[in-house]
Structure 1
């Protein structure tokens, strides 16, 4: 017997719909690529995302088309994301830190038909666009007043392109397992591999990320996603924040300590996430200037192992909680987060730091194990190392094009390629 509950497809546009209805006046603040701080609201972002979707459809783009973005974290990038997904197309975030030849290969492999590009990356696109056979249109994320001369064909300034959009577009409806986003991982051997996220996986990951013992965010937070949207979906923050109605502060292209401090202080940011090198630059700026962090409550640190000194300085000098996290592009990306369970909460000093240096435990929705080379599961004893494997509703079951199939087994486990152990409390540590 089946239950008698309603079908309600988990589609990504419902995240921004909820933000508009329940938190419409909540701010999204961006440091624009042109320079000034730009203020918007979820209601305005929602309406502009609808226009993006309508204009894409008018230009002939739609269901299943791959639409690339080569952009920093800004409100315009969020509008483009939700507009792309809302018309049934697939956003494809490109990592500008790769070699131009790699980006060209990735765009051709994905078959990108259009691209939204920041002014910063226009020279890079000019070098490679001619080699991308499928590319039909270039939308530069600026207005005509700041639009530079370019030899690129079929190019248009975003604001003027959006100004011609139909304001009466209605989101498309489709199966929740429809592809929503695409990101290529360069953390494996050989050519980059494409990970294809679904609407369902993105929405579930947004829910997982916001849980109290994960990132633990709420509508009362002001969130600064320093981690770029091209780095594994900004760790889900561009989806979790609209879902919960948190204020968003988007840093644009300025990641230096002084620029980040300015936003942290002026916008009263309570939560942020970035890789260790970014936080080191911020701490250096604080030490040189003697400034404090009166509003910041929590930082999530991932992308590489968090140095013990970083945790110590944040917690002892600035009273900021540090959450060490681990994940992969293939996991949407969150895998584990190191918050302290009740049995560990009373630990102090080196004992507490010893736990915090671990990558953490899995939130609900992610299963994890370590095995030997023959696939036999190993004990959670905190000392037996093995191959780290994961599975869950926001974990890839295959790579785009079917390559790399050896990393996925018949029971749905994904072999991360990492070697780790898990202690009796469920805390995982990578060697």
Structure 2
């Protein structure tokens, strides 16, 4: 066989040749842009040329602090296309963590959205390796800034060569991208993505048994481009020639609903909190969502009530997927098998609520307290993974051995696997609640509580107990647009039929909001502190 390298730049070259007329629809701070893949290709080549002129070389880190728009997409291909490394930085992290990440990655240049400038200006004195700052703006003049040297993205494109070639003589195992975990404790950990890993992961998104991304699709990645490369959707949409809809900065549920109707979006991807907000907007407004063939949900388990509302009220298929920063991220995808199409609606929802089956190309093991767990939907164990787009280490981090050993990535996620091979996340190993020698899944309790129509969010944490070791406490946020309230007893009565008496929460506390990470996951460590403070009062 020919030893042709799999490279990120070749994906955009394919789009230039075969999908030159297809569009990228991009909302920025100031306006809506409509570009073709031919336009994106030329602008990307100009950017590579300009980066060369700024001294960026093979392996240099190119950092981005930006929302979902066309300029960010162009850097997705320009940095790897010249054999540099795309480094997407989570702008929702603390300034301390952002400074750490930029220094640890040794970023040489930063591309910054205009509204993010104050954040970088506040930490510029801490940045040790950055040699240039580039602002991405629609304005003709540079905004005032203390950053130096300071460039305009569009002015850089003007000096770039539109015929600049993508580097082809590279090793497909060279790093193409990197992303850092949004750590809730300790410093964020860096993960490198190879050209080979990104290309194979992109191919997996096009499989019929996963997201089935194709030229006929209109993709709207709502998950931020700084979060595991927007789950690979920008790469997939470009390579397969889909129309890409980029919702831009500070979007609202109304903007998402408007874009779905206006541009006939077929597939959109985001975390459960996004879909809870969108569902509320769709139910209150009047929108045509008939174009949607799939809402892809990841990052956390979606409540059954949310899935049911999309599927049965709106007629929109709702698909769970599972992954992590270390897995590029796609690992599993929830799709009913052909012989499951005749299941009852309730059974279908139960299947949809699982995180799905392993994507081809990935291997897994599930290790419980007594060895490998049985595939019976009941035995629990930690999920271990390996495959061509699974990381093998953390970048320059002595915590590598904790997660990567014996040839496997130890995810820290506790799961069950049913006889069909579908996994269901039970909990994080650190969030399981052990009470009286029995394990209680906080995730199962959370999903059951969030099925109540008056509940917006629920998170369950374990609290120390002198007799039982730990006991579950439920923390609940009610729907903000309802004048009605719900009592602790009513919620416990609602979930009582689904659980053994000993696994029910000892208490239900009501909060205005539950602390979340920068990517929308519940911060249980911080929530435990809040609960402890409550009981001290």
Q: Shorter-chain-normalised TM-score: which range? A: over 0.9
Among 247, 251, 254, the alignment partner of 1:251 is 247
C-alpha contact (below 8 Å) 2:403/2:411 kept by paired residues: no
CA–CA distance in 2 between the matches of 1:213 and 1:74?
28
Name the residue aligned to 1:106. 101
Q: Does the 8 Å CA contact 2:258/2:287 hold for their aligned counterparts?
A: no
Shift of 1:207: 0.4
Q: Could you give the per-residue CA deviations for residues 64-109 of structure 1, whole angstroms, max 9, x where no partner exists?
A: 1011000011011111121111111101101011101010011111
3-state SS of paired residue (1:273): strand
Q: Which residue of 2 aligns with 1:128?
A: 123
Structure 2 unaligned segments of length 5 or more: list them: 427-537
Verify: 1:285 aligned to 2:320, yes or no. no
Provide closer, same or farther for how the CA distance between residues 143 and 322 of structure 1 changes in structure 2, counting only shifts above 3 A.
closer
Contact 2:261-2:287 within 8 A present in 1 as well:
no
Residue matched to 2:15: 19
Match of 2:311 in 1: 315
Structure 1, unaligned stretches of length 5 or more? none
1:303 aligns with 2:299: yes
Query: 2:266–2:292: 8 Å Cα contact kept in structure 1?
Result: yes
1:401 is aligned to 396
State which of 337, 356, 381 in structure 1 corresponds to 2:333.
337
Deviations 1:237-282 (A, max 9, x none): 0111111110000000133111111111111111100111111111
Once structures 1 and 2 are overlaid, which stretch shifts more, 121-130 or 61-70? 121-130
Matched, 1:415 2:433: no
Q: Does 1:227 align with 2:223?
A: yes
Residue 166 and residue 359 in structure 1: after superposition, are their counterparts in 2 closer, same or farther (change >3 A)? same
In structure 1, how many angstroms separate the alpha carbons of the residues matched to 2:308 and 2:79? 42
Partners of 2:160 and 2:26 in 1: how far apart?
23
Q: Give the drift of 1:402.
A: 4.1
- TM-score normalised per structure 1: 0.96
2:119 matched to 1:117?
A: no
**Match for 1:387 among 379, 382, 385?**
382
Aligned equivalent of 1:357: 353
2:266 counterpart residue number = 270
Q: C-alpha separation between the residues in 2 aligned to 1:428 and 1:144?
A: 48
Q: What are the superposed Cα offsets for residues 93-139 of structure 1, whole Å, 9 maximum, x if unpaired?
A: 01011101010011111111101111121111111122111011011
Query: 235, 242, 256: which is aligned to 1:239?
Result: 235
Q: Does 1:211 align with 2:204?
A: no
Q: RMSD between aligned alpha carbons?
A: 1.4
Work out the CA distance in 1 between the residues paired with 2:262 and 2:288.
Answer: 12
Largest Rg, 1 or 2:
2
| Aligned equivalent of 2:38 | 43
1:167 maps to 162
Cα distance between partner residues in 1 of 2:396 and 2:105: 9
Can you list the C-alpha shifts for 1:273-327, whole angstroms capped at 9, x where unaligned?
0111111111111222233412112110111111111111111122111101111
Tell me, what secondary structure is at the counterpart of 1:145? coil
- Tell me which residue corresponds to 2:85: 90
Residue in structure 2 matched with residue 58 of structure 1 by the alignment: 53
Instruction: Report which stretch shifted further, 142-151 or 322-331.
Output: 142-151
Query: Residues 5-55 of structure 1: CA distance to partner in whole angstroms, max 9, x if unpaired?
Result: 212100000110111111110000001122x21000111101111111111
Contact kept? 1:222, 1:247, Cα under 8 Å = yes
Matched residue of 2:143: which SS?
coil
Distance change (3 Å), C-alpha of 1:284 and 1:397: same
Q: Which has the higher contact order (CA 8 A, sep 6+)?
A: 1
Q: How many residues align?
A: 425
Secondary structure at the counterpart of residue 401 of structure 1: coil
